[in-house]
């Protein structure tokens, strides 16, 4: 099974595709869509959507997962609103592709990958490297976060399957 993970951002949106089906995962691709903050926001959304459509077409994931929006008292309402718009564009592309989508809060993603819900980005990046047995860490925090979202989805899927089997 292939799972696409997405870490939304209005300037940089990370993506990662893993293959899973055993206790181990295998990285297929990870990267980022970078937009120019000087461009009109609709153009930036279009660039993210176009890039994501290309990833879906090339790597044909079976399911997808997206990190939920994290609201912080320190973040501005305009940046939270922009992030929500990016998530909307991402969710639209995933729905167009007919993908089942899991949505997870950042703390759940961090907990699933590192064992700590308040892990720092460098800890997530390090654990993603270790769990995927990569020779080097994924270069971008946004891309490694996206891979972590996909890994969290795989773990939640496995847990749901096992729970359903036990309740039978």
Q: Which residue is catalytic, options 39, 43, 58, 67? A: 67
Our answer to whether residue 62 is catalytic in this structure is: no
Our answer to whether residue 142 is catalytic in this structure is: yes
Helix axes 141-167, 121-131, angle to 10 degrees: 60
102, containing H or E segment: strand 100-104
**Of 142, 104, 97, residue with least CA distance to 2:** 97
Q: Which residue is catalytic, options 19, 63, 142, 145? A: 142
Q: Which residue is catalytic, options 7, 19, 63, 145? A: 7
Our answer to whether residue 39 is catalytic in this structure is: no
122, containing H or E segment: helix 121-131
DSSP state of 98: T
What residues are annotated to the active site?
A: 7, 67, 142
């Amino acid at each position: 099974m292939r799972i696409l993970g997405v870490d939304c951002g209005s300037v940089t949106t990370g993506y990662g595709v893993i293959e899973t089906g055993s206790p181990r995962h295998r990285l297929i691709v990870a990267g980022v869509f970078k937009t120019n903050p000087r461009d009109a926001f609709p153009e930036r959304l279009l660039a993210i959507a176009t890039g994501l459509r290309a990833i879906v077409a090339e790597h044909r994931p079976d399911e997808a997962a997206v990190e939920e929006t994290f609201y912080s008292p320190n973040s501005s309402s305009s940046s939270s609103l922009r992030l929500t718009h990016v998530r909307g564009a991402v969710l639209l592309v995933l729905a167009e592709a007919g993908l089942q989508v899991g949505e997870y809060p950042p703390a759940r993603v961090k907990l699933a990958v590192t064992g700590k819900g308040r892990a720092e980005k460098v800890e997530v990046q390090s654990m993603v490297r270790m769990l995927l047995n990569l020779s080097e860490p994924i270069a971008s925090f946004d891309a490694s976060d996206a891979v972590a979202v996909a890994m969290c989805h795989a773990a939640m899927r496995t847990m749901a399957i096992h729970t359903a089997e036990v309740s039978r």
